Chain A
């Protein structure tokens, strides 16, 4: 084997050396004046490929589901808080009838006593007509309260921020009105709080699962779309593009795809929230609307849920860009490491 280092340029045998061609001078101002017919430079990563469109569609669908989950959790959480608040806002003084008390006087005494307690906003006696109306579904119309030993009620409105000492109120009532008992709805409140918290936790678990599905779907869809661009990464790499340059080309394109998919999905979810809220507001006065509002309030999901929708859109965009960035860097690493290592290739 021979190798002489200082080989000079060859002499041509048959082909004559050409002179370097001279092109007509084109005057430009150096700021981008274009030769007629030259289009603006195409983006290095093409847009509008089939895999790119599929990616946008997948992200839109998953974002839509995630936004619906965010709205549902927000609605359940808000309704649960409302139930809890409504029950905790009131207590009831019940006075059992007996021969030795003047019921009306006892009611007034209990009302005055309760009203004077700190943490009590007011106390209202349920009048005779109202009591009859309350019992009508069970005992029928034309009920005479004096003929039956029906307990009478005083509804006490509580200051939720600084509720009264219920034990002290109970003792004071017992001292002045022996037939009175105080029901602070604690048992109901505790059960409702438990139910509300359970409902919210279940909703959050579903939300986490949907978000996890969103994350995984976006990652796999992005990697699928990236597979169609493998040759671009290789070409850029072999013509001397730095890793950061290549990654930037892709994550810009995929950030836009992710955000666009998120906006479509989030937009549709928001539209549904607005439509349901509008329907609820229109039907609140109907019996069905009343039943629905008893459970779900006014069906409005609040600013928190809209912030959640925005967060889902941002998440979809960032995740897509990040996945494409990582995929590009991994591909470049593979080209320089895995593909360049003959020990790992056998063909």
Chain B
């Protein structure tokens, strides 16, 4: 699904933050991406999401070399990827319901066709009673759940989540993890960037550990 071959990344004239990174994310796989702060987890997620180009190496996303993808094709590829940003990136003038339905709205779908899915997903993440709330009045954990719901609403082929449980308590983290597992069971490949060992210990999944710019994978 996504393949990295000898990928290197360097910002400006600085040192390489990622060196010779090679891995493959198969369909319906589940993995954690972890490592100390500043190890390059967010950079790696940005590479996976095609919002950053590698300095060297080859990245193929859905069997397409991202170096040769035309700009007009990028939105279509991004629609197959769900992303949970560390800073949530919710639109403050839209309600929770509208934020979660936004990916479907930009795909040109009528609201009537996705209303039940959005409401169902909001209940699933524990926000069924807050569909009218605007993001500025939400807690950090609630915002995180909205961001997760928005990433999942169109059942992406792969989900990239940057510290998705960083702002929630343990029971909610466990509940969100169950949601990721359920999405994975239904066919979505999941990559969770986290340094929450407690979270990783709950699932026997592949661990991708970034350290000093190099990636080690423990199956």
Q: Which residues of A contact B (CB under 8 A)?
A: 1-18, 20-21, 23, 26, 28, 30-35, 37-39, 41-42, 44, 46, 231-232, 234-243, 245, 333, 335-336, 339-347
Contacts and interface: CB of A to CB of B under 8 A. Distances in A.
Nearest to A43: B93
Contact of B51 (A17, A46, A238, A343): A238
A345 B12 contact: yes
B interface majority secondary structure: mixed
13 contacts: A10-B184, A11-B204, A13-B203, A13-B204, A26-B116, A30-B112, A42-B95, A44-B105, A238-B83, A239-B102, A245-B106, A346-B14, A347-B11
Given A5-B26, A8-B29, A232-B91, 12 more contacts: A1-B215, A9-B30, A9-B185, A17-B185, A23-B123, A38-B97, A38-B131, A235-B89, A235-B91, A237-B75, A239-B106, A240-B106
B73 to A, nearest CB: 10
Given A240-B103, A342-B53, A46 B202 contact: no
Contacts of A44: 91, 102, 105
Nearest to B219: A4
B105 A41 contact: yes
A15 B13 contact: no
A13 B98 contact: no
B205 A10 contact: yes
B201 interface: yes
A7 B29 contact: yes
Interface hub of B49, B54, B206, B214 (most chain A Cβ within 10 A): B206
Contacts of B72: 242-243
B52 interface: yes
Contacts of A4: 219
Contacts of B83: 238
A181 B169 CA distance: 109
Given A1-B215, A17-B178, A239 B94 contact: no
Residue from B13, B30, B31 whose CB has the most chain A CB atoms within 10 Å: B30
B204 A12 contact: yes
Contact of A28 (B112, B185, B218): B112
